[in-house]
Structure 1
Amino acid sequence: NWDAAQRVAEAHDPDSVADVLVGQARFAFEQREFQKAEAFLLRAQRPELAIKYYKEAGMWSEALRICKEYVPSRLEELQEECGREAAKKGSRGTEGLLEQAREWEQAGEHARAVDCYLKVRDPSNAVLMEKCLLKAAELAIKFLGQSQSVDVTRTVAPQLVAMKKYSAAAELYLSLDLIREAIDAFIEGEEWSKAKRVARELDPQSEEYVDQRYKEYLKNQGKVDSLVGIDIVAALDLYVQQEQWEKCLEVAAQQNYKVLHKYVALYATHLIREGSWDKALSLYVHHGVPANPQNFNIYRRLFVEMVNAPGMNCAEAYSSWADLRDVLFRLCENLVKSSEANTPAHEDFETMLLVAHYCATRSAAQGVKQLDTVAAKLSIALLRHTELLPADKAFYEAGTAAKQVGQQKMPNPSAPPRLLSQAIDEGNLDSLDHSDFQNTDIPFEVPLPAKQHVPEEKREEVRDWVLTMSMDQRLGQVLPRDERDTYEASLVAASTGARSLPCVLTGYPVLRNKIEFKRPGREANKDTWNKFQMAVKTSHSPACQDVLKFLSQWCGGLPSTSFSFQ
């Protein structure tokens, strides 16, 4: 009867009261009445026994609490002992760590509790891991200093991100005003609206950062349609990377002319590299032809590709030649109104336009029997532009055209293809005899084609025909002359050097009986003009009608007697 024993001790032997209290405490501990036992020992002023009994019961948090409050001098020693015991528990795995962490927490040893929670590793139990990490962070923020809280948060949050708990990580960062880290956590979780809101409300300077990261994300994910509303140039560049050219141009066209033509040029360059110069040409047919110097190489390349292409000397090629002609015409019209007006580049493009017009008109004439002579004259007139055209191809086409309409009425520049073929094989012009073309405007110093443009079987035909001509005394090889005592296709008079204007339909010089157009420098031989008009009326050729339509634009209108092509 402990109560009776205590009364007797208090009445007759006060020195034994403490012993009675200790006895009561021991009995209470055995009965697991810990609070009552603790009270007895504290009344007996024996806190060290309370610590001992708590230790024996494995209640380290209670032992540390009593020690901290009543025997602080022993606290460090007890903490070390407790740490050793915790290590033993930790070796028992997750349960031991959790038990020890809770004990540290109950004992107010928050730093040690945080360490224990951070040591918990159980990949098979993501929920438990998340709880332990958040508990560690919570204790650090609530009980530890700012520096330690930040350190713990920087340890915990990345692990939460790795577990795809992006919002939890971000909220943790925000609780310590780590704004950029919170934004990055939201970004990592692709929670862009939250990242944007945090930046807007808490750190406006980070809005641009979020936008940039979002653009990069959309680009990396190929989500170009979403990118359009944020960064149009980045979206267009992504369309280019994905080779979604049609979509790129569709979106670019909604911007402005400059943006559109940046991507038209990129697409055209791509098509030319792919060998699809015809598709590249159609881009400028549909989208216009800006007089941008950075585009000049594209325009030149389109011209070069087309004049070098096989199968273009025929009626069926009219639409292609007309497209090139119209593109170059628009370009030259734009150049006149630009800072590039009258520059060497402008002059080059005017010459290319003239060549394209001759080729287009030749194709149109080839589709109408009455205009065979016009087509042949155009092939011959093109010889004065062999600095731009492959010479072997130009001479072959001119000679073939002359032969087809009757070589006795037309000049026969057919030997040059044979000699040019030899020169191409040899890689120099030394073997060429230019004596037949002296005192003409057919250039001699022309670029030597890098490859043969005339097939071998065609070159053999030329050799045989030239041999036949040389054996036939009736077929003289002297070029026909006109009233100027000059080769009839030459614009420059041999004796005076006077230059005549070329006929807009044949390229031959206009000497007498001319038709003059409103635009200076545009004339036609009247006989040829009337013949062409009559052919259009009788054949109703759409190509020839289109030639007249072009001439109306190029020459500033047609004579009042002209056939209406509308």
Structure 2
Amino acid sequence: MSQNQNKEFFFNSTRINCFNFESKLQENLLSDASLFNQVATGLVKNEMFEVAGEMFEAVGHADRAMECFRRGHAYRRAVELARAHNPQDVTKLEAAWGDHLCSTKQYDAAINHFIEAGESHKAIEAAINAQQWVKAQHILEEVADDPSYAKYFKVIAEHFSKTQEVDKAAELMIKSGDERNAVTLLLDSGRWREAFIMASQTMTNTEVDRLFTSKADEMADQKKYDVAEELLLLCEKEDSAISMYKRLKKWDDMIRLVEQYHPDLVDKSYAAVGKALAEDNAYSQAEKYFIKGNDWKSTINMYRNSNMWEDAYRIARTHAGDIAEKQLAFLWAKSLGGESAVKLLNRLRRLSDVIDIAATNGAFDFAFELARASGETQKTLDVHEKVAMHHEDEGDFATAEVHFVKAKKHREAVLMYVHNKDWDSAERVANDSGDKNSLQDILIGQASQAFAKEDYQTAEAFLLRAEKPEIAVDLYRQSGNIRDAIRVATEYCANSQLLEELQQEYRDQGGRPLESLPPRVPSVATNAPSDLRSIVESATDWEKEQEYVQAISTYLKITPDMSSDKSQLEKYWTRALKLSEKFLPDKTAKISQHVASKLQEIGRYTSAAKILLSINDSKSAIKCLMEGNEWNKAKKVAKEMEPALLPHVEEQHRKFLKEKGNADELAGSDLQSALEMYKERGQWDKCLEKAKTHSVQLYHRYVAIYGAEMIKKGRNNKAIAVFAKYGTPLKDNVLNIYRHLAKESFEDKPDNNPAKEYVRWANLRQVLANVSKELQQIGSPAMGEFENMATIAHYLAMRAALKTINGTESLTAKISTTLLRYINIIPADRAFFDAGIDCRDAKRVDMALMFMNRFLDIVEAIESDDHNLDPEGFEDTEIPLEFRLPAQVCMSKVEVDEIRNWVLTMSIDQKTAATGLPRDSRGRFEGDVGHTGRACVITGYPVQAETMEFRKGRAANKSDYRVFYQMARKNATPELTETVQFLISWAGEPAS
């Protein structure tokens, strides 16, 4: 036989006898070991392991039998044999059994064997391969504490996520440490609240806010605004939800949220919505919101500005009240004029009212026009009277007189002149009108003026002309001149009782009997000497005759114009007072007041005050000291004797200091007024220094005012410098001021001097960075806007600083390229021009050509007013395709032509022709950062490869960072040094 035939015979013989093998072996082979080994060896050699195992098992060779069963993949028999003879080998055999089943794709069958073997990793993998996900989860949960199994949680979670078993998937993602995807899964499944709870437990507040606001933006883009709102409200971003609805002009939803979260701003919100709708010409809708916000004034103004007077009047009549209705009728009629105005007012039944309003508001021509049309003479007279009163207030008395006369108000004209002591004009008008009563008033007024000047004879003459001698008697009596009072009463008054009273009063004062006096002898009062010496001599004579009343009266006739020696004047007046104290004590108070008045007239306020205090007239004493600007003395008297008057004295002192412009002293008692004074004088450093010592709020208020005043004067750069130096207050609408300054600065024509240009941008950079930081601290939604503008200002300042030295072309080209991302904020033509020039200087001709071509396209668009720019070359970059065109080109025609010629020349050269913007290893334009990327703080380019991290989370490309800092150290210009300092404050120190 051949060898193969022998082998086949051997196999067949073995198979035939295998069933009775045990008994035959026992009978025939136990004693023949050689034959047994030959057969067993043959079976193993021919890979008949299971049969060989049976042979070995039959003869009690358990180890060799198990090995044969294992090699023959008869694992069940191997395991059974191991359990009986070698239990320690069971786990190994179960593991091998599982491996074998996996190798034959029998994953489901392998699971339990791996479990029996304690091979949890393999059991889980087998369950996963067998799609037995629940079983895999159960196995995994048994070993969940072992971190080496974490990867399986994620695999199983992904399956449950695909099958929409969200709860299981989220739970497993959490266990795998992938909280963010767990939250995202819940978000994607619409389980907002559960997602928020999970996020709050596993993420920082900042991360939660960022995730949910991003999801809200996504929902809003899909027009699922209610979902976006819910997401924003969950993370307490109600202001963002309000802003979303405002941006979408979904006003009712916006108001609903304002009512819920900012009830104090409801009226303002209604007004803001009304204004927005009015700007869109949606007047009826705007009216609804204005009225809901109780802002009928804005409603009326809206209709007025749109010439919709009927609607404006309807609102005034319904909501504004009678006064506003009349006022609007006046404005409406005035806009029409002529006969149309009269017809309108007759229809509205407001003609008479509007005539009055027109006259009151100074619309005199219109008032006369309406009055004549009304046919009511009295209305015309009323208008003349109001015109007269207007001119009187303006000091135009002649014109006022004309209209008073036309109004048949002659007496008003007379009183006007009397009030201004224009006696001749008053008398003329009175005579012209034949008004005797007015003439009498004029004479009495002149007499009062003369008497106040102690010109008694003139005063007496006026009163006698006015046929009012009794007034002269009273005036003489009040001044202590009883003899003159008796004289006038005797000569001109028929009142015997009055004469008797005067005589008795005279006797009571110690006067001589009148019978001893010659009749009608002129008294000293009527023949007063004109010089001081004569008066003093007369007074002395009266003293000698013990006529103390007359002596006192004579001393008091001394007037300031009689001597320049104030001490001498004070001496004689004081003598009169002493006589009164000694001989006429009951008249002392009155004479003290008179003497005090005279002393005040010559500036002896302290002496006058002492006299007033001696008669316990502390109020008059205080008033006297105030008139003399003796403020400390006045305050002392008030504090000790009239505490209630102290605030008044202090207020008048402040008023005095204001009028005198003494701000430094005023600051001690009235800081607000002092600050206003400093402000009006332009002494801002002092103003802010004083304000800062009081409170931060007051300081910030005046910083804002300072900046606003500079803006009003058109000095925007100065305003920016103010905020950069003194700080950036956040109050009222000051954010709009910062926005205005940033916008104006970005649009200003640049300075060709890099150092000057740097100062401008550095100041703006500081202002915007400060504002952004403060907004971040209070969680304002405007923070992103100002952070964006601060970044622009930073790159502009960085570029200007670099241009103050040589050798920085590469960095400046990158910065200018970066700034193209912001052409929706900065002027596009200037941005492309700068980028083109800087790239050309940096030998980046390909980019320079692209940017210069774009610049020329923008120039043509501006000149032709065609906003349709070809996007070619910029479609898949971060450089905006849509942006606002400047009103005019930033360069002169000559400069534009130079660029055009350069582009043409370079384009002819095939080597330098523009072929598109360069791409980097990402396959993107090299200047694009991407949604998840970070911008270099030096150039704005995307941070890649070697990175320099800063402590505040910003980063830089290490190569650009090194170049910049080497240049800054080498050159150390003020601009570069300051830029380094700003980077440290803005980005923080390098992390390594």
TM-score by length of 2: 0.42
Cα distance, 1:287 vs structure 2: 4.2
3-state SS of the aligned residue for 1:410?
Answer: helix
Once the two structures are superposed, the pairs formed by residues 23-34 of structure 1 within 5 Å of their partners are none
Rate the CA distance shift 1:317–1:95 in 2: closer, same or farther, 3 A: closer
| In 2: Cα distance, 1:99 partner to 1:286 partner | 74
- Write the distance in 1 (CA, Å) between the matches of 2:547 and 2:857: 103
Please give the residue correspondences for 1:85-484 in structure 2 after superposition, counting only pairs within 5 Å: 85-86=523-524, 89-90=527-528, 116-121=554-559, 123-125=561-563, 130=570, 133-134=573-574, 155-271=594-710, 280-292=719-731, 295-304=734-743, 306-307=745-746, 308-311=748-751, 314=754, 317-318=757-758, 321-337=761-777, 339=778, 341-344=779-782, 346-366=783-803, 371-410=808-847, 412-418=850-856, 420-421=858-859, 429-431=865-867, 433-436=869-872, 437-443=874-880, 446-449=883-886, 452-468=889-905, 475-476=913-914, 478-482=916-920
Match of 1:19 in 2: none
Residue identity matched to 2:640: E
Distance verdict in 2 for CA 1:432–1:182, change over 3 Å:
farther
Measure, in 2, the Cα distance between the counterparts of 1:336 and 1:122: 72
Greater mean alpha carbon deviation, residues 406-415 or residues 268-277:
268-277
Residues in 2 aligned to 1:365 and 1:94: alpha-carbon distance in whole angstroms: 87
1:117–1:449 distance in 2 versus 1, CA, 3 Å? farther
1:343 deviates by 2.1
Distance 1:223 1:469 in 2: 70
For the 8 Å contact 1:89–1:100, the answer to whether it is kept is no
1:508 aligned onto 2:948: no
User: SS of the counterpart of 1:123?
Assistant: helix
Aligned-residue offset at 1:262: 3.9
Larger radius of gyration: 2
The amino acid of 1:125's aligned partner reads S
State whether residues 948 and 958 of structure 2, in contact with CA within 8 Å, keep that contact through their aligned partners in structure 1: no
- Tell me: CA distance 1:463–1:260, structure 2 relative to 1, closer, same or farther (3 Å): same
Q: Is the 8 A contact 2:532 2:562 kept in 1?
A: no
Distance 2:749 2:762 in 1: 15
Matches of 1:392 and 1:223 in 2, distance apart?
53
From the superposition, tell whether residues 118 and 313 of structure 1 become closer, same or farther in structure 2 (CA, over 3 Å). Answer: closer
* TM superposition shift of 1:354: 0.6
Instruction: State how many pairs are aligned.
Output: 482
Closer, same or farther: CA 304–151 of 1 in aligned 2, 3 Å: farther
Return 124-133 or 535-544, whichever deviates more.
535-544
CA displacement 1:147-199 (0-9 Å, x = unmatched):
x7666555553433221121232223223333232122222223233222211
Question: Contact 1:391/1:448 (CA < 8 Å) preserved in 2?
Answer: yes
Q: Deviations over 1:85-132 (max 9, x none)?
A: 556534787777667766777788766665555444472335665456
Decide whether the 8 Å contact of 1:290 with 1:334 is kept in 2: no
Distance 1:197 1:386, change over 3 A: same
Once the two structures are TM-superposed, the CA of residue 213 in structure 1 deviates from its matched residue by: 2.7
Q: What RMSD, in angstroms, separates the aligned Cα atoms of the two structures? A: 4.4
Structure number with higher helix proportion: 2
SS in 1 for 2:814: helix
TM-score, length of structure 1 as denominator length: 0.68
Q: Which moved more, 1:534-543 or 1:412-421?
A: 534-543
Relative to structure 1, the CA distance from residue 94 to residue 442 in structure 2 (aligned partners, 3 Å threshold; closer, same or farther) is same
2:954 aligned residue (522, 527, 533) = 522
Q: Deviations over 1:200-229 (max 9, x none)?
A: 211122222332333333333333333344
Report what 2:370 is aligned to: none
The SS at the match of 1:89 is coil
Gap regions ≥5 residues in structure 1: 1-63, 493-497, 561-566
Residue by residue, what CA displacement relative to the aligned partner does 1:33-69 show, whole Å, maximum 9, x if unpaired? xxxxxxxxxxxxxxxxxxxxxxxxxxxxxxx99x959
Mean CA deviation greater in 135-144 or 117-126: 135-144
Distance 1:264 1:451, change over 3 A: farther
Structure 2 vs 1, CA of residues 68 and 233 (structure 1 numbering), >3 Å: closer, same or farther?
closer
What's the secondary structure of 2:812's corresponding residue? helix
Higher relative contact order (CA 8 A, sep 6+): 1
Cα distance, 1:479–1:68 mapped onto 2, change above 3 Å: closer
Contact 1:503 1:524 survives alignment (8 Å): yes
CA–CA distance in structure 2, aligned partners of residues 88 and 368 of structure 1: 96
- Percentage of identical aligned residues: 32
Partners of 1:210 and 1:163 lie apart in 2 by: 22
Shift of 1:303: 3.5
Sort the Cα spacing of 1:86 and 1:236 in 2 relative to 1 into closer, same or farther, 3 A.
closer
Structure 1, 436-445 or 100-109: larger mean CA deviation: 100-109
Three-state SS of the structure 1 residue aligned to 2:845 is: coil
For 1:245 and 1:422, how far apart are their aligned partners in 2? Answer: 47
Tell me if structure 2 keeps the 8 A contact 1:517–1:555: no
Amino acid aligned to 1:175: S
CA pair 413-499 structure 1, distance change in 2 beyond 3 A: farther
Is the contact made by 2:560 and 2:602 (CA closer than 8 Å) also made in structure 1? no
- 1:419 and 1:432 in contact (8 A); partners too: no
The whole-number CA distance in structure 2 between the counterparts of 1:504 and 1:92 is 93
1:226–1:68 Cα change, 3 Å: closer
Q: 1:355 offset after TM fit, Å?
A: 0.8
Cα distance change of structure 1 residues 90 and 290 upon mapping to structure 2, 3 Å threshold: closer
Distance in structure 2 (CA, Å) of the matches to 1:109 and 1:255:
65
Q: Answer yes or no: is the 8 Å Cα contact 1:387–1:446 preserved in 2.
A: yes
- CA spacing shift, 1:521–1:457, aligned 2, 3 Å: farther
